[in-house]
Amino acid sequence: MADAKWGMVIDVDKCTGCQACVVACQSENNVPINTEDIFNQRRAIEWIRVERYWEGEFPDVKARFIPVLCQHCDDAPCEPVCPVFATYHNNEGMNVQIYNRCIGTRFCANNCPYHVRYFNFWEPEWPDTLTHQLNPDVTVRSRGIMEKCTFCVQRIRRTSREADRDGREIEDGARELSPACVNSCPTSALVWGDFNNKNSKVSNLAEKEMSHNGSHHGRGYKMMENLGTSPNVIYLKKIDKHAKETVAHE
């Protein structure tokens, strides 16, 4: 899988804000339970979160949703500031976080324009019985460690290993390979795959939606692209028939 370049395409026009991805992620990745206190301290951890933005006043009011997760930027601002190389870009196009290297300076979170890095201010705690649910493939992060979306790398590792063992090919968009959020999304607003595979769903979507020629205007944009982070997550614009065309970066 060394040649892959994993990425995601998120259709904001399909996202209903239902939060299925949030629980799917927490369940797969042993994210600590966000208690009331943790929310009040503004230290809640949601590797993928759904943001809600208001526009207008009653009755002409809109609430719009957008899922935000680690953008796995090619030029990630979080990477150069880590003094211990705990975060770096691997050869699969992913921005990865190595827990055992992390010393908790929080420089990376400070430098991330998307605010998708979460710091463990507290030791994660579960009642004894709930620990039975914890995913053995994912490290439980202790206090003082930075964590963030991994594109469910444990699934990539497990699936490619088992495919190697059984001598089979993995199809594009296979559920066993896909991150938990992508599998859960009821409207299929999240699509995940390999940008290096020219026939993959994400490649096709990127090609179609990021291009502008003639009358065709793709809906694709990258969040806060003007910062030069070159994210590996492509968003597709929300369609609002009352809206005047706006661009992602002005």
Partner 1 sequence: MGGSATAVAAAACGVPEKELLVQAPLEMPEDLVTGLDNWYATIDRQNRNGIGIVVRVMEGRAKKIEGNVDYPVNVGKHNAIADAGVQSLYHPDRISAPLVRTGERGEGNWEEISWTDAVSRIASRLEGVSGEELVLVTSPIGGHMGSVVNSFTDAFGSTHLQYEPLERTVLQASIKNVFGQDVMPDFDIENAAYVLSFGADFLNGWVSPVRFGRGYGDFRHAEGRERGTFTHIESRLSMTAANADDWIYVKPGYEGVLALSMAKVIIDEGLGDDAAVASLTQNGTNDLSQFDPSNVSAVSGVPAQRIREIAHEFATKRPAVAIGGGSAAAHTNGLFNLNAVHSLNYLVGNVNKKGGVIFNPMPPIGLPVGSRSSSFQQMSTLSDRMANREVKALFVREADPFYGMPSSSEVRKASFGVDLIVSFSGQFDDTTAMADIVLPEHNYLEDWGTDVPDPGPGYQVVGFQQPVVRPFFENRGGHLGTKNFGDVLITLGEILSNPLSLPGDDVKTFKDVVEQGARSLYGLNRGSVKSDDFRSFWQGVLQRGGWWDTGARYDGPSPTPPALPVSPQEPISGSGEFALVPFESAGLSDGRTSDLPWLQALPDPISTAVWHTWVEINNKKAEEMDIREGDVVEVTSPRGSIKALAYPHPGISPDAVAVPIGGGHLGGGRYSKERGSNVFSILEPLTDDKTGALAWGATRVSLRKTGDWVRLSKFENTKPDISEDTHRKIIPLTNG
Partner 2 sequence: MIPGDFQIRKPSRIQVLILGILGIGGLVGAVVGLVLGAFVITAWLGLPLDVFGLNEGPEQPIAFPHTTHVKSLGMDCTFCHRNVTVGAAASVPAVGLCMTCHKTIGDGNEEISKLRDYHSSGLPINWVRVHRVPDHVNFIHEPHIRHFGEKYGGPAGTCQLCHGDVGRMVKVKQVRSLKMGDCVDCHKANDAPTDCTTCHY
- Applying the rule CB under 8 A, the residues between 66 and 95 that interact with partner 2 are 88, 90-92, 94
The token duo for 58 is 């009653």
Question: Which residue among 42, 54, 100, 244 contacts partner 2 (CB under 8 A)?
Answer: 100
**Nearer Cβ to partner 1, position 20 or 78?**
20
C-alpha 125/C-alpha 106 separation (Å) is: 21
Which of 38, 44, 66, 98 is in the footprint of partner 2 by CB under 8 A? 98
Q: Is the peptide bond before 83 cis (omega within 30 degrees of 0)?
A: no
Tokens of 92: 């699969």
90 binds, among partner 1, partner 2, none (CB under 5 to 8 A by kind): partner 2
Q: Which is nearer to partner 1, 64 or 89 (CB)?
A: 64
What the block records as the tokens of 10 is 């998120």
Q: Which two tokens stand for residue 32?
A: 């600590």
Question: Taking CB under 8 A as the criterion, which residues in 189-248 touch partner 2?
Answer: none
Q: Report H helices in 20-113.
A: 20-28, 36-40, 107-111
DSSP state of 187: T
Q: Which is nearer to partner 1, 168 or 242 (CB)?
A: 242
Q: Residue 100 or 246: which CB sits closer to partner 2?
A: 100
If the CB atoms of residues 139 and 197 are measured against partner 2, the closer one turns out to be: 139
Q: Is 140 in the site for partner 2 (CB under 8 A)?
A: yes
Chain centre distance of CA 15? 14
CB 2 → partner 2: shortest distance, Å? 7
- Determine contact, residues 161/177, Cβ cutoff 8 Å: no
For 93, which DSSP code? S
**Residues near partner 2, by CB under 8 A:** 2, 88, 90-92, 94, 96, 98-101, 137-140, 150, 153-154, 157, 161, 164-165
